[in-house]
Amino acid sequence: MSFLHRTVLLEEAVDALAIKPDGLYVDGTFGRGGHSRLILSRLGPNGRLIAFDKDPAAIAEAQTINDPRFTIVHDGFRTLSDALDELGIQHINGLLLDLGVSSPQLDDGSRGFSFRFDAPLDMRMDTTRGQTAADWINSADEKDIAEVIRDYGEERFAKQVAAAIVARRLERPFATTRELATVVATAVRTREPGQDPATRTFQAVRIFINRELEELALILPQALARLSTGGRLSIIAFHSLEDRIVKRFVQDASKHDLPDRLPVRAADIPAPPLKAVGKPVRASDEEVAANPRARSAILRIAERTEGAL
């Protein structure tokens, strides 16, 4: 099936890379190729783009791009350094990440990401490997389930949801999204207006199953080590936990690593390896009206300096 996908902050995220025609860039989240295609359109004949994605559907879409400047890697962006080594690449001029789940993944009921459809409880971005959401829900300890729902979903009824899940699976294992959503609804007593009771739990399980926050924490230092001076990070987050990781990384890498009150002249203080570029960028009112999922998007931009790591 073909699903409509609107790339969020398309122009803004690619503009943030300050693309050099002969540069080498990485799109760590190919998705349906919106950002990648725009990057390619701005590269010259000697430019190059390496894209990553775990989703077989995204890989199939990437294989429709017949361009010698383009390479697709079927893996998560956590493998950046290893993949670049295999390709004989030492440095890159920019990295773009569009984090979280894509619209086609949400809108394809068979993937199990959304409680809007009754489908197998899968939630894997890479359907060729790894544990499904059903496998984990049916086997994890109640304490672990509660921690995941609390930490990744910021669900204040996490303990109650976990208890309800464990009680229900004693009767029969979970198999579908609707089964999980129905049980969660019995345990969540109040919810924000317009939000389904299962929203936070589904988000938490998806983040956990795909190790999304762990992957993000792994890619950032790799990217910094690979960026050439003047190279850019352009990262779109949709969730406060993702954005917090990006924000803290940029802040920490933008500070000099010297003890407080050390008597050193300002001119002698070594430059930090990274600097934030501008303020965080959010989708315009027009984009949000056309694509409500853009409402929570926040783009952060940073640039590699001459400072040593």
Q: Is 278 annotated as a binding residue?
A: no
CB atoms within 10 A of CB 69: 17
Token pair listed for 265: 């002249």
Token pair listed for 27: 């799109």
Distance, in Å, from the CA atom of 102 to the CA atom of 209, rounded to the nearest integer, reads 16
Task: List phi, psi (to 5°) of 245.
Answer: -65, -45
Contacts of 228 (CB under 8 A, 6+ apart): 91, 92, 93, 304
Which DSSP category does 257 fall into?
Answer: -
Q: Is 34 annotated as a binding residue?
A: yes
Q: Is 33 annotated as a binding residue?
A: yes
Q: Is 28 annotated as a binding residue?
A: no
Token pair listed for 266: 């300002």
C-alpha gyration radius of the chain: 21
Find tokens 């729902």 and name the residue: 149
Token pair listed for 92: 């890159």
Task: List phi, psi (to 5°) of 179.
Answer: -60, -45
Q: Is 108 annotated as a binding residue?
A: no
Q: Is 131 annotated as a binding residue?
A: no
Specify the 3-state DSSP secondary structure of 275: strand
Strand-strand pairing, 48-53 and 227-237: unpaired
Which DSSP category does 272 fall into?
Answer: P
Q: Is 77 annotated as a binding residue?
A: yes
Q: Which residues are annotated as a binding site for S-adenosyl-L-methionine?
A: 33-35, 53, 77, 98, 105
Q: Which residues are annotated as a binding site?
A: 33-35, 53, 77, 98, 105
